[in-house]
């Protein structure tokens, strides 16, 4: 005896439609990697490793981080890949005060750390108005 479920699957198969897809068939490439770069109390989230950016863009990132007054003028930090939200929580410690997100992904952090979602570094380099908007956001959040 053929059950309704089997009939449905046979009809769909004849039409060329698969009812279920295997988990391995799901494209994992749709998740863009996020890279964190941290100097003291400020973490920035980037689309690629900090070291892969051109010097002018590296200088812009460091200047933005230094403008927050939370880095004590240091210009060297640590870069790392974030594969999951749990890894983000590992990178952010109790001393972190600010996260600036330069990726298109929206980030939510479980702790009370301030997050600024900004335009990408490429967009900031191209348009000075976007830099001004970011600076206004930084000043508002940090009361500068």
CB 96 within 8 A of CB 40: no
Q: Across residues 90-102, what is the average pLDDT? A: 78
Q: Across residues 78-107, what is the average pLDDT? A: 74
CA distances from 41 to 53, 99, 129, 144 (A): 22, 9, 26, 16
Q: Across residues 55-74, what is the average pLDDT? A: 81
* Residue 127: other Cβ atoms inside 10 A: 12
DSSP 115-129: EEE---HHHHHH-HH
CB 133 within 8 A of CB 117: no
* pLDDT bracket for residue 21 (50, 70, 90): low
- Backbone phi and psi for residue 79, each to the nearest 5 degrees, phi listed first: -110, 145
* pLDDT bracket for residue 103 (50, 70, 90): confident
CA distance 76 to 27: 36
Strand partners, 81: 35
**pLDDT value, residue 39:** 82
CA distance 77 to 66: 12
**pLDDT value, residue 29:** 45
134 has a pLDDT exceeding 50: yes
The DSSP element (H or E) to which 23 belongs, if any, is: none
Coil, strand, or helix at residue 82?
Answer: strand
69 has a pLDDT exceeding 60: yes
* pLDDT bracket for residue 32 (50, 70, 90): confident
């Amino acid at each position: 005896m053929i059950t309704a479920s089997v009939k449905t699957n046979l009809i769909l198969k004849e039409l060329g439609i698969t009812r279920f897809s295997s988990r391995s068939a799901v494209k994992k490439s749709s998740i863009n990697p996020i890279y964190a770069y941290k100097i003291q109390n400020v973490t920035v989230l980037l689309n690629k490793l900090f070291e892969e950016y051109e010097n002018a863009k590296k200088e812009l990132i460091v200047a933005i981080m230094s403008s927050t007054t939370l880095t004590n003028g240091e210009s060297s930090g640590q870069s790392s890949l974030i594969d999951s939200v749990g890894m983000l929580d590992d990178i952010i410690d109790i001393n972190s005060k600010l996260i600036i997100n330069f990726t298109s992904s929206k980030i939510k952090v479980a702790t009370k750390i301030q997050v600024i979602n900004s335009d990408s570094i490429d967009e900031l380099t191209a348009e000075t108005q976007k830099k001004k908007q970011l600076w206004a956001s930084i000043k508002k959040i940090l009361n500068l």
